[in-house]
């Protein structure tokens, strides 16, 4: 589910910074349907697992605890970091502002560059384009 949220926020950051989608070397197919589907499916699976842990006869509390221990740990750690960030680090915002998100550091592309530009700068032994070489796992 976090991948769906990250995908949506990344595209929102691109839009907020007036970046062109053609600058991306890879564009997610079926956007925004796919990340939204991931969020809906993840939520449905979370609910279904909870129901299955309660519906098992005879009922055992250990099944419910085993099902939701990961979710409880996530909430506890997230809340703890949020409090640490707010009171220890004195952060005013929890999430990175989409207008100022760093989309350039460590990127294999730059503003105005395309996959073809990146491929031209990467030397290959056999002369094939970078994306074909990666598809064949020939490094």
pLDDT in tens, 54-93: 998 898 999 999 999 999 999 999 999 999 999 999 988 8
pLDDT tens column, 105-114: 777 666 666 5
Cα–Cα distance for residue pair 32/5, rounded to 1 Å: 11
**Of residues 4 and 92, which shows the higher confidence score?**
4
Cis omega before residue 58 (within 30°)?
Answer: yes
**Of residues 105 and 10, which shows the higher confidence score?**
10
Torsion of CA 9, 10, 16, 17, to 10 degrees: 160
**The model's pTM:** 0.69
Residue 14 pLDDT greater than 50, yes or no: yes
Per-residue pLDDT band for 138 (boundaries 50, 70, 90) equals very low
Angle in degrees, 0-180, between the axes of helices 33-55 and 61-87, rounded to the nearest 10: 130
* Span 33-57, average pLDDT: 93
Dig out the tokens for 68 from the structure.
């939701």
The distance in angstroms from the start CA to the end CA of the chain is 32
Q: Mean pLDDT of all residues in the chain?
A: 83
On whether the CB atoms of residues 14 and 21 are closer than 8 A, the answer is yes
Cα–Cα distance for residue pair 131/138, rounded to 1 Å: 10
């Amino acid at each position: 589910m976090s991948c769906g949220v990250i995908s949506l926020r990344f595209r929102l950051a691109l839009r907020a910074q007036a970046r062109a989608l053609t600058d991306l070397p890879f564009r997610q197919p079926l956007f925004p349907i796919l990340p939204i589907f991931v969020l809906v499916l993840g939520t449905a699976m979370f609910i279904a697992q909870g129901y299955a842990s309660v519906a098992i006869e005879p009922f055992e509390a250990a099944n419910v605890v085993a099902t939701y221990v990961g979710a409880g740990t996530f909430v506890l750690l997230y809340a703890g970091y949020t409090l640490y960030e707010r009171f220890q680090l004195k952060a005013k915002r929890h999430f990175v502002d989409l207008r100022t998100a760093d989309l350039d550091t460590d990127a294999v592309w730059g503003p105005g560059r395309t996959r073809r530009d990146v491929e031209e700068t990467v030397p290959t032994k056999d002369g094939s384009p970078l994306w074909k070489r990666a598809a064949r796992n020939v490094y």
